[in-house]
Chains A and B, each alone.
Chain A
Amino acid sequence: MINSEKNRLKDKAFQYFGLGCTILGLLVLAVFLGDIIMKGIGRIDWDFLTSFPSMRAKKAGILSAWVGTLWMLGLTAFISIPIGIGAGIYFEEYAKKSRLANLLEINLANLAGVPSIIYGLLGLEIFVRSMGMGTSLLAGACTLALLILPIIIVSTREALRAVPNSIRQASYGMGANTWQTIWHQVLPASMGGILTGIILSLSRAIGETAPLIVTGALAYVAFVPSGPMDQYTVMPMQIFNWISRPQQDFQVNAAAGIIILLCITFLLNGIAVFLRNRWQKKVKW
């Protein structure tokens, strides 16, 4: 066999190998989702959604967990969105090319890579102990807000950067100042991108378990939280609790809980993708 034929054969071989790897990755995803649906789908009914957890697996439900997750989602969004967008605007529109800006940049890159459980330790000392919030929803939400802040900031910056400079210059040319330009021109034009980032970061937040374990989310909650200072549990926490029990019936509960958690996660991701596509189509510079 001559050399070029050999090379072509190797090329083809790698093509199939690459295809194989890709299919394997997707296959794992399929097996994974299929397995969980088979285990859990039979367990989901109205009672499961409206019952509190119980020592008897068949009677247990996820009411306190999903209500807790909704509370957590709302509070986290309320805290992180204004700060995240504000910081993003500052980074992109004001703090350009200074030593401070450079420092902020390095800091941000590092924060994004800090493991979530470390945020849990931060929340435990600062929010739970020093600020006296105790093991409340608010303490958990503050911790998660700090955790997703880098994601919101980065996506806000990318969205702002996509707005062409000609828009800004036109606005300045009409006599607008920096803030007016940002508020009336740049922000509306980049809203799609910013929203996408926020939704993705929130979908990350509702799946987080580790920082909430550290800041004191409870494993067994037989009441619905009525305010931000109440104790709570969230869906991943409840799932973790069920997984850790040896009885088969609790594993079924865990699978059912996972189906609902995944539905929420995929729904949020779907909205984000939809927004991104719509926004990309609508805006053409």
Chain B
Amino acid sequence: MKRVLMICAIITVLTTVGIVYVLFSESYTFFQTVPLSDFLTDTEWTPLFTDKHYGILPLLTGTLLTTAIAMCIAVPMGITIAIYLSEYAPKRVRSIVKPLLEILASIPTVVYGFFALTVVTPFLQQIIPDLSGFNALSAGLVMGIMIMPMVSSLSEDALYAVPKSLREGAYGMGSTRLQTSFRVILPAASSGIIVSVILAFARAVGETMIVAVAAGQQPILTGDPRSSVETITTYIVQVSSGDVQHGSLEYNTIFAAGITLFIFTFILNSVSFYIKKRFQEKYD
């Protein structure tokens, strides 16, 4: 029986090996035709046009732009809510609000895309007249709402796990709840909060459907949130939904884009895992 169970466990390793193998072998073919230096420095990404350019930069900036907007929403809001629920709110409020926020996290992302395209974009267009129909801003904002529960829930767990004695010590010294929260509890729970932020960041980088629906499909190298951008994930969706011949260079481009995404999220996940293991505060 132990053997059978071990095979189940080894499937998880095979999955990782499979991902790495597939991404490397397909992009190897890609990089035999397109030099790595072009891939990293060319400022245009036009593999589907006649004048072909293979620079990942426009896709990368598109991805980072929407992610940055999302983080601007998710981090301050998520941490504030976490502090409020853990340090201020009555138990009853906490027990009602937490599951409600988790509903936000369980909504399929294509639904968020619909929301961004049909509600948030028209609303923003009233405030910012020259906002394009597909834009980074709306997709980023909605993505921020999507990952916010992840930050608030994980951070709240970290805050809640700080032992009562630390709070009581701070209150005994005459601190207000605000001072206790920011000078005692938050530093004590910092590793858990940093982990939650990194995980949310990785999630935003890999998010697909919101940006595919609401951010557009034009790989423009820009930092302007009003403009339409294409992310790495959107590009993969765009190529997959068209008919591109297996074995062609266009086909290989999605793996080159994929490996860029994978390396990014791999680094983020590893850092968060390391922080979790290394800086776990132990109170007994």
A interface residue numbers (CB < 8 A to B): 4, 7-8, 10-11, 14-15, 17-19, 21-22, 24-26, 28-29, 31-32, 35-36, 39, 82-87, 89-91, 94-95, 103-104, 106-122, 124-126, 129, 146, 149-150, 153, 178-179, 203-204, 206-210, 213-214, 216, 219, 236, 239-240, 243-244, 251, 254-255, 258, 261-262, 265-266, 269, 273
Segment at the interface with A among B30-38, B39-47, B50-58, B100-108 = B100-108
What residues on A are CB-neighbors of B273 within 8 Å?
106, 109-110
Contact status of A107 and B12, CB under 8 A, knowing A240-B209, A243-B117: yes
Q: B111-139 interface mask toward A, CB cutoff 8 Å, 1 = contact, 0 = none?
A: 10111011100000000000000000000
Shortest beta-carbon distance, B155 to chain A, in Å? 13
Shortest beta-carbon distance, B209 to chain A, in Å? 5
Q: How far is the CA of A80 from the CA of B22 in the complex (A)?
A: 21
Residue of B whose beta carbon sits closest to that of A258? B111
Q: Is there an interface contact between B240 and A213, defined as CB atoms closer than 8 Å?
A: yes
Residue of A whose beta carbon sits closest to that of B247? A129
Which of B5, B208, B241 contacts A116 (CB under 8 A)?
A: B208
Contact status of A35 and B115, CB under 8 A, knowing A94-B5, A122-B22: yes
What residues on A are CB-neighbors of B4 within 8 Å?
86
Shortest beta-carbon distance, A38 to chain B, in Å? 11
B55-106 interface (Cβ within 8 A of A): 77, 80-81, 83-85, 88-89, 97, 99-101, 103-104, 106
Q: How far is the CA of A28 from the CA of B106 in the complex (A)?
A: 15
Shortest beta-carbon distance, A3 to chain B, in Å? 11
Q: How far is the CA of A106 from the CA of B5 in the complex (A)?
A: 18
Q: List 15 A-B contacts (CB under 8 A).
A: A7-B179, A11-B177, A36-B111, A86-B4, A86-B5, A94-B2, A113-B203, A115-B205, A117-B206, A117-B237, A118-B265, A206-B108, A207-B106, A240-B110, A258-B111
What residues on A are CB-neighbors of B119 within 8 Å?
31-32, 35
What residues on B are CB-neighbors of A266 within 8 Å?
103, 106
B interface residue numbers (CB < 8 A to A): 1-2, 4-9, 11-13, 15-16, 18-19, 22-23, 26, 77, 80-81, 83-85, 88-89, 97, 99-101, 103-104, 106-111, 113-115, 117-119, 145, 148-149, 152, 174, 176-179, 181, 199, 202-203, 205-209, 212-213, 233, 236-237, 240-241, 246, 254-255, 258, 261-262, 265-266, 268-270, 272-273
Which of B6, B7, B23, B240 contacts A214 (CB under 8 A)?
A: B240
Shortest beta-carbon distance, B256 to chain A, in Å? 11
Q: Is there an interface contact between B206 and A26, defined as CB atoms closer than 8 Å?
A: no
Which of B108, B179, B203, B268 contacts A236 (CB under 8 A)?
A: B108
Residue of B whose beta carbon sits closest to that of A212? B240
Q: Is there an interface contact between A95 and B97, defined as CB atoms closer than 8 Å?
A: no
Shortest beta-carbon distance, A267 to chain B, in Å? 11
Q: Is there an interface contact between A36 and B114, defined as CB atoms closer than 8 Å?
A: yes
